[in-house]
Structure 1
Amino acid sequence: MDTRKTLVAAALKILEQEGDAQFSTRAVCAIAHVTAPTLYHHFGSADGLLSAAVEEAFKQFLETKRIAKQSSDPAIALRQGWDNYVRFAAGRPRLYAAMIGRVLLGATIPAAEQARALHVENIKAIAAEGRLAMPAEAAADLAWASAHSAALLYVTGQGRTPDRAVIDGLRDHAMDAIFKS
């Protein structure tokens, strides 16, 4: 593995284990077995490394969406995508929090934009079939917001796993509102 990839992998490890509040270049360098000048040579700053690590995390998330076996029925695929999103956040809550934090700060992250585009494309396929109970943009926002809400329950739960009925309820209520009866 080249030095740049090693540094990103070390940064991801810290983000997953400790979160971005505990992120430090010193810890990254120790894990990667490099000196600080090497890190700065490749990324310019701690923020540059953090941005690269978050971009890699979004690429990993996008890859989970691409390889997940999804139904050819776009309505079922929407539910599967929702579950995949929440599963990613549940499995990697500190990393997910760092990823969303960067988005909230206004970062442009191509893999995040690609994931959103796949989501919107799926909603448009459902709209083309005449199965939406609301405009496609509103349906996309509702599905996205409900998945974020469920994901945040894992981030803010402080080690407590959210009640599965709450997670399923968020998804099911959103889907009931999105689809025509």
Structure 2
Amino acid sequence: MSDPGVPPSRDAVRARLVDVAAGLLAAQGPEAVTTRSVALAAGVQAPTIYRLFGDKNGLLEAVAESGFADYVAQKHPVDADDDPVEGLRAGWNLHIGFGLANPALFRLIHTGMLTPDGRSAIEAGADVLRQRVTRVARAGRLRVPERRAVDLIHAAGTGVVFALIEQPPDTRDESLSDLAWEGVCATILTGGHTTAPAVPATAALTLRAALPDLAMFTPHERALFGDWLGRVADAEA
């Protein structure tokens, strides 16, 4: 328990302001997040916000950074699912669920100018998606280049969230997420998700995903082999 006679630390005050601003953002939208309202709710003087964040935009950037870091922390370990496609679907569901539960924060994260730390948090989230897609490729289930699959999943998932949060909650078409996921699967996956699997491309993608584990090749040979496999995958995609 903290001593009531000891002033809170700079970090504690900063965290309190971020929490208060996040609460106002969630409850009333970005218009409610003013330096005056946040300072009043946090029990500090308005100049404190300027000292810690520079201005209101700096505070909002910190809110976005904190919110996205919390979201990334909710992601399951990449190897937690036996089926890599199910792991990919779990990540999709988490993304959609986070956006619907936090519409104002989701807009802020994807439309605001983030700090370097905020961009690092987003990159960490993207890296989890890339690892999941690599697992799918190693299982021989991917029919397009990994980068294209990652970009498509990200674009489709984010687009679905924006479409859904613009709809009134009582008339929201919740089937849109499932339909979009099926469309993504039909494009990027082999097997039952597509009627025309690109067999050479799939083999090339599977082998390229496994290249880091092929210790019989030198780094130069792996790079050259990876380039050849990439050409096969890109030609067939």
Give TM-score, length-normalised by structure 1: 0.89
Query: In structure 1, how many angstroms separate the alpha carbons of the residues matched to 2:176 and 2:30?
Result: 27
1:145–1:12 distance in 2 versus 1, CA, 3 Å: same
1:68–1:119 distance in 2 versus 1, CA, 3 Å: closer
Query: In structure 1, how many angstroms separate the alpha carbons of the residues matched to 2:78 and 2:21?
Result: 26
Match status 1:101 vs 2:111? yes
Q: CA deviation at 1:180?
A: 0.7
Deviations 1:47-87 (A, max 9, x none): 22111111001111111114799523221100010000000
Aligned length in residues? 179
Q: How does 1:12-161 map to 2 (within 5 A)?
A: 12-66=22-76, 70-102=80-112, 105=113, 108=116, 109-160=119-170
Deviations 1:114-164 (A, max 9, x none): 000110111112112221121111111111111112111232124445212
Structure 1: segments with no counterpart, 5+ residues? none
SS in 1 for 2:183: helix
Query: In structure 1, how many angstroms separate the alpha carbons of the residues matched to 2:84 and 2:134?
Result: 9
| Bigger-Rg structure (1/2) | 2
Q: What code does the residue aligned with 2:21 have?
A: A
Match status 1:164 vs 2:166? no
Partner of 2:18: 8
SS in 2 for 1:65: coil
Q: Percent identity among equivalent residues?
A: 27
Match status 1:180 vs 2:190? yes
Query: In structure 2, how many angstroms separate the alpha carbons of the residues matched to 1:69 and 1:129?
Result: 13
Alignment check: 8 A CA contact 1:89 1:154 kept: no
Of 28-37 and 15-24, more deviation after overlay is shown by 15-24
1:117–1:69 distance in 2 versus 1, CA, 3 Å: closer
1:67–1:88 distance in 2 versus 1, CA, 3 Å: farther
Of 81-90 and 58-67, more deviation after overlay is shown by 58-67
Q: CA deviation at 1:31?
A: 1.4
Deviations 1:6-56 (A, max 9, x none): 000011112212232442111111211111111122212212211111100
Query: In structure 1, how many angstroms separate the alpha carbons of the residues matched to 2:53 and 2:79?
Result: 36
Alignment check: 8 A CA contact 1:10 1:28 kept: yes
